[in-house]
Amino acid sequence: MPSGSTAADRHAPCEPTPLDGGEPFQGSNAGTVLDFWRYAMPDLRTNTTRGLLAEFLVHRAVGAVNRNTEWESFDVLAPSGLRIEVKTSAYLQAWGQARLSDIRFSRLRGRTWTPESGRSPEQSYNADVYVFAVHTARTHADYDPLDVGQWHFYIAPRTPVEATAQASLGLATVQRICGDPVAYDGLAHRIATCTTSPKA
């Protein structure tokens, strides 16, 4: 081990190489990275993928450069240094429902993690701004995951979210804290001008 380096340095990952989808899996007939993407994310309506999609939209809206690593305690880092957490909910799911789903946003608190110290003992609110993204389609015939106009984005700074002392919030509370939602084209501006005062 070089002088002055640590075990953490030795095990630090290399910077990932961006993929374009055409790369083949070596030594097999498994196809390409694009084949894997089609397998892993064939439906943008599923809970996990919908969350990633909303993250992607916020990432693009604020002009973020890189996607956060999975262990970060927030989702998007704006060029200004603003840490953004993105939470999603929808009335419709990818499975059969007896009724529309309630709009609720969970896991607002989390434990931070570093290679040196591991997980923090306590959960905390770890973002500067919270984006609560609601997919508004109420029928599967209308649901178009590629139409960003079907999203409503509610934005709040950490202060009023933290003041609730809750790990999850329903839509009524989010509306009280955030006020009116914005469409995608107003998302970056609302995030940039987010104030610290909760709505009445």
Q: pLDDT by residue (tens digit) across 26-76? A: 998 999 999 999 999 999 999 889 999 999 999 999 999 888 877 788 999
Q: pTM value?
A: 0.87
Return the half-sphere exposure (C-beta side, CA atoms, 13 A cut-off) of residue 115: 10
Q: In this predicted structure, what is the pLDDT of residue 26?
A: 92
What's the token pair of residue 14? 């290399």
Query: Could you give phi then psi for residue 157, rounded to 5 degrees?
Result: -75, 170
d(CA 55, CA 48): 11
Average pLDDT over residues 158-172: 95
All structural domains of the chain with their residue ranges? 32-192
CA separation, residue 5 to residues 8, 11, 15, 55, 170 (Å): 8, 11, 18, 35, 48
More confident residue, 13 or 68: 68
Q: In this predicted structure, what is the pLDDT of residue 6?
A: 55
Please check whether residue 129 is in contact with residue 157, taking contact to mean a CB–CB distance below 8 angstroms. yes
Q: Which amino acid is at 188?
A: A
Q: In this predicted structure, what is the pLDDT of residue 12?
A: 73
CA separation, residue 33 to residues 20, 21, 40 (Å): 8, 5, 10
Q: What is the pLDDT of residues 99-137, one digit of tens each?
A: 999 999 999 988 877 767 778 778 788 999 999 999 999
